[in-house]
Chain A
Amino acid sequence: MNRRFQSLLDIQKTKISCVDLVEFYLGQIQAQNASLNAFIEVWEKEARIRAKEIDEKIKKDTAGKLAGMVIGLKDNLLVKNQAASNSSKILSGFTSPYTASAIQKLLDEDAILIGRLNNDEFAMGSSNETSFYGPVKNAIDLERVPGGSSGGSAVAVQAEMCTAALGTDTGGSVRQPAAFTGTIGLKPSYGRISRYGVMSYASSFDQIGPISYSISDAAILLEVMSGKDPKDATSSSKKVEAYSALKPNEPKRIAYIEPEGLDDEVSKAYTYQIEKISASKHQLERISIDFADALVPTYYVLTTAEASSNLSRYAGMIYGHQSKKQNSLDEMIMQSRNEGFGPEVKRRIMTGTFILSEEHFEAYYTKALLVRRKIKNRLNEIFENFDAILSPTAPTVPFKLNEKKQDPIAMYLADQFTVMASLGGVCAISIPMKNITGKLPLGLQITCNSFCEKSLLNLANELV
């Protein structure tokens, strides 16, 4: 696909005005969104007004470092006076009275917000097929899924409907759609970016992550959004580094895993990639993750448990969809939730409720926490000897719409390589991986230790 702009640096170099830039993206959206279904709402008026304001600032040389960046937001991120629904019926009619901390930081650096992007309902899904607003289509092949849950964000960048987009990543929701769309998806370390104003799915996993077409855009977005937020007790006060000052790498010690059961195309591309890197200055070594089989189950036990509680607030009482059936408080709550949530969200709430029930808590939740601890320990062990771990981002090529929709287990396995970083709270990125036997986009995942985003981005910049 021919792209007009590769990155913010590119945009700034061309000296295009923000007004023209916004018109360009609005044109792109106008031309493609009907078939791709990435945007749920386009903030045309607001984007145009802001573009003018920022052009003024550029003239006066007072513009922030994101001037010229036009950003789309996943529909679970909150902006004051804008609707946000998490692609769910249950939040129909909801308008946010406040702006997420991370987004405020983008605005403070003069980014332009262009609209909200489709996702799997409540970020639960790996194909963007669970959205109340219908599936998002992969721009490379309209019969294929873009991955999920941040499918709209990935496609918006893939089809150049914005410069970059924000997604959220709980178990791969930024990285896997980035892999499926040939874009770059970064999941920062847990606590790196404030979650205040991000609708929670699983609180101990969720992180905002940028999806972009260049490493430099991912780096600058991370740099702007990172840092301690007094409104989020889980945000880290670790120093924010100058991520955007990308540097060449010293020789690194890199571990790679060699998973079984990969799609043929993925397997060949991955082998090719590994051979290429082993011929470089870096020292490459194969490792095994002893607990590989436990990753996906552990992830689903913990995330559904947290989700079942996090989603309790959507009860039709203070905001969002309220059922007309109101003979009793119980009926109103039950019906509002029954009418408002889709099947995948219900499945995960039910699963999580079961897991947290007194009877099963020890067997599932407590055990999963122990496994999570072991996974973290194993990752620490690996990072004592290596700077990074390589794997494919996903085991398959972008699959076809409806291919896995009826088989939740098959769908959950789409996350098998991405959940490890989420369980460990470490950072990871998916970068495009050259498909040597086909045309579909594939992703290479690089995982680094917590708060090692700087070396993650430098390495990604070399391997991309």
Chain B
Amino acid sequence: MATRFSDFDRSFSVFDELRRRMDRIWDDYDTDAPDLGFQASSSWPRVNVTDAGSALVFRADVPGIAEKDFHVTVTQDGLTLAGERKTTAPEGYSTQRQERPAAKFSRSWTLPYKVDAEKTSATLKDGVLTITLAKAAEAQPRQITVRAQA
């Protein structure tokens, strides 16, 4: 006695699914950022990296993962983000539709700057993990004052 629960307008659902996947693929290749040795990839979770001047900020979309299920490792010039997400049906329920990816992941980056591993923070909020890596003193941007010579 299955109660079907379908996307609106079932006849187009195949196209919807196709479009959804195509959109994800475009997202994979369509990046404004210059290539700094980071690789665009379709791996899960998706991670955005920004350079905020004094720090590198990694933001990963990781819905449905508890903080204890992450392993974040920082060295002077590398970052590894590992964890696991299970998307099994709750006890007593059968699966009718399964799109959310289950993933056991480990992603590593070679950092373009030396970072101060002591001043690293990682916070999880609304399913987004933010890792802030403070750049080491010698990698901080520095303003040089130009002095006119008499």
A binds B: no
The chain B residues found within 8 Å of chain A, CB to CB, are none
The chain A residues found within 8 Å of chain B, CB to CB, are none
